[in-house]
């Protein structure tokens, strides 16, 4: 009765905010790609950054909406708000992208995908997306890449607050409020969020709406103590999602949380330490019994210790080394099959980052040990070269893996002898500045994935096995323009996501997609237009249905009534296009949302 996350692909318009991040004269500082603060132009990898102002401008209601249309990303949803959301990064599987919340992994250890549909973007300060393998630094699931969601932070000094109310189609209401303060060595930020929507019928034959309600709290606290800094981060979201199964209205409660305590220390002038202890949970409880009379559930609890050390040992070199200890408990009951298992894993990782003149390079290695399948090494190599003031090249190659989930090992069809899914990737990229206001970029990549876990044999006596292979070859092209109040982005994403075992296309991933975004900022108002196109897709491994190509148009408008008050509006699917993201699932009609935001400093 618990829903498995069906892969769904959707490419939408690129956020204009990414144009800002990629064409500004001063490149942003990123952390996720190398686990240490580095300017974007010195990292030999493909990275996108979404800043707080870009998030506010987008007026989106969940992380899936926020990320759609970024290079290499397909986002899909099985129905309306709060429904299962899938993220495909560079054509890899939906569970091949590692999702971090303030640097803590939140991918569940049981069935399904990371619950990004339950995270209100209004609680997020910044998003960093690294495309390509990164298991050498972060471990399991980082095959397609890593998405790091960094929650709201206080300003450098002083006090501030905000209140935001939004209402619109499908009886949607979103309320968000927060306060923040920074006084000398102490800072604190707390935000609250409430989201609810009547929704619409999730499946095409439904006669009932599938609604959604979500309440969240996010808090960050920091205290500097000489050469040390104590930090505490907390995120909790709880609510109920209605959905449809076999034509019947059902609903389930969810509870997601991440709590981390950390200590940052400057041990010497050239040696920094970062210790983080965290606990994350992903709970789903079904509210109606299945035909066996059971109330299905899934529960993942992960306790983690990560100790990272950065040592600047030679000019231009930073040696990063660390250890990760993790215990994961997974419990589930689904259609009579249940389990309750603990498993431990340990890892050591090391990376040397080199930056000198036009050269930048990284070499990384990780050795992970799981009690299920033993040892597993991964590595990454990357090199970047600044040809001249306007041209930069980069190349990288590496390996990655996804450890079998608790459901893979012990659920229906479970096989405790499974090995991890593994990958090998290579990437080449070039970026060229066209004067002071424009740039073009092109990136090509190829990934091969082995040991894919699939259910084999005859139902219901079959079991999971490592038997399939896939390969993805792709090219990402982008043009960005920023001059005065105008901003423009155009991109084409081409890929061949192949199921090599069955000689067919991987389902719900378009081979061609395009984005166009145009924005204008006036002192009193700003407006944005975004157009997205996604090509034909195969619907599923289990049918021959083809999902037709489609083009969508969305627009946003903000009017600054005063220095601290803003009126907002957003129209999704402006031309009321009829389209499908997955066979049998509905998508929204033209939708209108209006909001009011008040900020105080």
> What confidence score (pLDDT) does residue 336 get?
81
Q: Is residue 499 part of a domain?
A: yes
Q: For the segment 506-515, what is each residue's pLDDT rounded down to a tens digit?
A: 988 889 999 9
Task: Reply yes or no on whether the pLDDT at 6 is more than 50.
Answer: no
pLDDT band, residue 69 (cuts 50/70/90): confident
- 155-164, 331-340, 526-535, 538-547 — which is least confidently predicted? 538-547
Give me 478's structure tokens: 């982008």
DSSP 222-249: EEEETTEEEEEEEEEEEEEEEEEETTEE
Angle at 164 between CA 161 and CA 165, to 5 degrees: 155
pLDDT band, residue 541 (cuts 50/70/90): low
Inter-residue contact 43 to 360 (CB < 8 Å): yes
Task: Reply yes or no on whether the pLDDT at 340 is more than 90.
Answer: yes
- What is the number of residues in the chain? 601
Span 367-372, average pLDDT: 95
Burial class (CB within 10 angstroms; exposed 0-12, middle 13-18, buried 19+) of 12: buried
Burial class (CB within 10 angstroms; exposed 0-12, middle 13-18, buried 19+) of 500: middle
Question: Cβ atoms within 10 A of the Cβ of 247, count?
Answer: 10
> What confidence score (pLDDT) does residue 2 get?
40
Backbone angles phi, psi at 524, to 5 degrees: -105, -15
Inter-residue contact 525 to 549 (CB < 8 Å): no
Q: 107 to each of 86, 282, 283, 313, 514, how far by Cα in Å?
A: 12, 8, 12, 35, 28
> What confidence score (pLDDT) does residue 25 get?
55
In this structure, what is the dihedral angle of CA atoms 420, 70, 107, 580, given to the nearest 10 degrees?
A: -90
Q: Is residue 6 part of a domain?
A: no
Closest CA to 178 of 125, 214, 132: 125
Q: For the segment 71-89, what is each residue's pLDDT rounded down to a tens digit?
A: 888 877 888 999 988 899 9
DSSP summary character for residue 80: S
Task: Reply yes or no on whether the pLDDT at 24 is more than 70.
Answer: no
In the block, residue with structure tokens 């080394």: 321
Q: Is residue 4 part of a domain?
A: no
Do you find a cis peptide bond into 460, omega within 30 degrees of 0? Answer: yes
Q: How far apart are CA 125 and CA 219, in angstroms?
A: 12
User: Residues with Cβ < 8 Å from 248, sequence gap 6 or more?
Assistant: none
Q: For the segment 87-127, what is each residue's pLDDT rounded down to a tens digit?
A: 999 999 999 999 999 999 999 999 778 999 999 999 999 99
Span 431-446, average pLDDT: 96
Supply the CATH number for residue 293's domain. Answer: 2.40.170.20
Inter-residue contact 255 to 231 (CB < 8 Å): no
User: Residues with Cβ < 8 Å from 144, sequence gap 6 or more?
Assistant: 72, 88, 89, 90, 91, 92, 93, 96, 97, 131, 132, 447
Inter-residue contact 597 to 565 (CB < 8 Å): yes
Mean pLDDT for the chain overall: 92
> What confidence score (pLDDT) does residue 13 get?
33
Span 15-35, average pLDDT: 64
Q: How far apart are CA 72 and CA 494, in angstroms?
A: 9
Angle at 511 between CA 509 and CA 516, to 5 degrees: 95
> What confidence score (pLDDT) does residue 246 get?
84
Inter-residue contact 482 to 19 (CB < 8 Å): yes
pLDDT band, residue 133 (cuts 50/70/90): very high
> What confidence score (pLDDT) does residue 302 get?
98
Q: Is residue 5 part of a domain?
A: no
> For 270-351, where are the alpha helices, taking DSSP H only?
none
Q: For the segment 261-298, what is each residue's pLDDT rounded down to a tens digit?
A: 999 999 999 999 999 999 999 999 999 988 778 899 99
Give me 572's structure tokens: 């999704």
Span 34-53, average pLDDT: 93
Closest CA to 110 of 332, 417, 343, 286: 332
Task: Reply yes or no on whether the pLDDT at 16 is more than 70.
Answer: no
Q: How far apart are CA 55 and CA 48, in angstroms?
A: 13
Q: Is residue 62 part of a domain?
A: yes
Measured on CA atoms in the order 454, 456, 462, 465, is the torsion positive or negative? negative
pLDDT band, residue 14 (cuts 50/70/90): very low
Q: Which of the listed ranges 138-152, 505-519, 525-539, 541-555 does the model predict with the highest average pLDDT? A: 138-152
Domain that residue 570 falls in: 16-600
Three-class DSSP category at 595: strand
Task: Reply yes or no on whether the pLDDT at 160 is more than 80.
Answer: yes
Task: Reply yes or no on whether the pLDDT at 366 is more than 90.
Answer: yes
Q: For the segment 381-403, what is each residue's pLDDT rounded down to a tens digit?
A: 999 999 999 999 999 999 999 99
Q: How far apart are CA 106 and CA 258, in angstroms?
A: 8
Task: Reply yes or no on whether the pLDDT at 458 is more than 50.
Answer: yes
Inter-residue contact 172 to 125 (CB < 8 Å): no
The count of domains in the chain is 1
User: Residues with Cβ < 8 Å from 601, sequence gap 6 or more?
Assistant: 155, 158, 159, 160, 564
DSSP 164-227: EEEEEGGGEEEEEEEEEEEETTEEEEEEEEEEEEEEE-SBTT-SS-EEEEEEEEEEEEEEEETT
> What confidence score (pLDDT) does residue 99 get?
97
Q: Is residue 142 part of a domain?
A: yes
Q: Is residue 2 part of a domain?
A: no
Full-model pTM? 0.94
- For every residue of 98-163, which 3-state class applies, written as one string? EEEECCEECCCCCCCCCCHHHCCHHHEEEEEEEECCCHHHHCCCCCCEEEEEEECCCCCCEEEEEE
Q: Is residue 9 part of a domain?
A: no
């Amino acid at each position: 009765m618990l829903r498995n996350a069906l892969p769904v692909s959707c490419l939408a318009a690129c956020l204009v905010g990414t144009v800002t991040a990629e064409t500004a004269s001063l490149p942003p500082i990123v952390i996720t790609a190398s686990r240490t603060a580095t300017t974007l132009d010195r990292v030999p990898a493909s990275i996108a950054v979404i800043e707080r102002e870009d998030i506010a401008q987008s007026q989106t209601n969940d992380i899936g909406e926020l990320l759609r249309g970024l290079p290499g990303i397909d986002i899909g949803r099985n129905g309306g708000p709060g429904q299962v959301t899938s993220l495909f990064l560079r054509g890899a599987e939906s569970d091949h992208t590692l999702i971090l919340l303030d640097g803590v992994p939140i991918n569940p250890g049981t069935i399904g995908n990371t619950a990004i549909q339950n995270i209100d973007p209004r609680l997020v300060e910044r998003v960093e997306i690294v495309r390509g393998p990164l298991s050498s630094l972060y471990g399991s699931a980082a095959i397609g890449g890593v998405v790091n969601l960094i929650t709201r932070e206080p300003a450098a000094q002083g006090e501030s607050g905000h209140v935001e109310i939004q209402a619109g189609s499908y009886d949607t209401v979103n309320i968000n409020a927060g306060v923040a303060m920074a006084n000398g060595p102490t800072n604190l930020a707390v935000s609250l969020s409430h989201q609810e929507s009547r929704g619409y019928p999730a499946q095409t034959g439904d006669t009932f709406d599938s609604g959604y309600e979500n309440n969240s709290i996010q808090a960050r606290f920091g205290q500097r103590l000489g050469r040390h800094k104590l930090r505490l981060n907390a995120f909790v979201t709880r609510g109920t999602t209605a959905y449809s199964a076999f034509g019947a209205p059902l609903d389930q409660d969810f509870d997601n949380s991440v709590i981390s305590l950390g200590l940052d220390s400057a041990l010497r002038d050239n040696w920094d330490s970062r210790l983080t202890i965290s606990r994350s949970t992903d709970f789903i409880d079904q509210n109606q019994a299945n035909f066996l009379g059971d109330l299905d559930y899934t529960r993942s609890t992960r306790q983690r210790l990560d100790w990272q050390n950065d040592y600047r040992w030679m000019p231009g070199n930073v040696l990063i080394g660390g250890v990760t200890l993790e215990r994961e408990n997974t419990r589930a009951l689904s259609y009579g099959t249940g389990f309750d298992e603990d498993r431990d894993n340990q890892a050591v990782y090391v990376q040397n980052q080199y930056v000198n003149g036009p050269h930048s390079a990284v070499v990384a290695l990780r050795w992970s040990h799981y009690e299920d399948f033993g040892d597993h090494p991964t590595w990454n190599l990357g090199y970047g070269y600044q040809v001249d003031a306007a041209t930069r090249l980069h190349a990288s190659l590496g390996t990655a893996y996804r450890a079998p989930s608790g459901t893979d090992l012990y659920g229906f069809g479970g096989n405790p002898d499974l090995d991890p899914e593994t990958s090998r990737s290579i990437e080449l990229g070039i970026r060229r500045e066209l004067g002071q206001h424009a740039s073009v970029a092109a990136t090509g990549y190829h990934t091969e994935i082995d040991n894919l876990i699939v259910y084999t044999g005859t139902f219901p006596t079959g079991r999971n096995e490592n038997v399939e292979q896939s390969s993805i070859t792709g090219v990402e092209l982008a043009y960005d323009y920023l001059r005065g109040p105008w901003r423009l982005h155009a991109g084409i994403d081409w890929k061949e996501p192949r199921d090599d075992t069955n000689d067919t296309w991987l389902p719900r991933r378009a081979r061609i997609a395009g984005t166009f975004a145009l924005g204008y900022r006036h002192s009193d108002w700003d407006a944005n237009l975004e157009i997205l196109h996604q090509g034909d897709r195969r619907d599923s491994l289990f049918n021959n249905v083809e999902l037709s190509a489609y083009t969508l148009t969305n627009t946003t408008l903000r009017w600054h009534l005063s220095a601290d008050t803003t009126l907002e509006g957003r129209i999704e699917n402006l031309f009321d296009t009829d389209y499908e993201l997955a066979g049998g699932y509905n998508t929204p009609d033209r939708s209108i949302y209006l909001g009011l935001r008040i900020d105080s400093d």
